[in-house]
Amino acid sequence: MATGWAHEGAVQEQIDATVKDAIARARNNLSSGPSLSHCVECGEEIPEGRRAAIPGVRLCVPCQEAHDSKITEFSGYNRRGSKDSQLR
């Protein structure tokens, strides 16, 4: 049930767009190509199991964890359907 000026189904469309954007962002962050045998950060050998499991891996597990902890979280709020964003 939409309220105000929104058409029927607008809320679901906004949710679908947010999920679609998150999937696209995740796909863009995936590595591709051949995996490296040694980490580009510390030079340690990357285990064969990790290289086989993740195509295009470039970091060992400790360096990947450090890299992931530095990445800021995306707010996940889709402003396309926000009335406030249309008023600005």
To the nearest 10°, report the CA torsion of 39, 42, 48, 50.
-70
Q: What is the pTM of this model?
A: 0.53
Lowest mean pLDDT among 15-19, 27-31, 83-87: 83-87
Q: Which residues contact 12 (CB under 8 A, 6 or more apart)?
A: none
pLDDT, position 44: 95
Q: Which amino acid is at 67?
A: H
Helix (H, G, I), strand (E, B) or coil at 3: coil
pLDDT, position 26: 82
CB atoms within 10 A of CB 60: 21
pLDDT digits (tens, 9 = 90+) for 19-71: 999 899 888 877 778 899 999 999 999 999 999 988 899 999 999 999 888 87
Interatomic CA distance for residues 24 and 74, integer angstroms? 13
pLDDT, position 4: 65
Report whether pLDDT(11) > 80.
Answer: yes
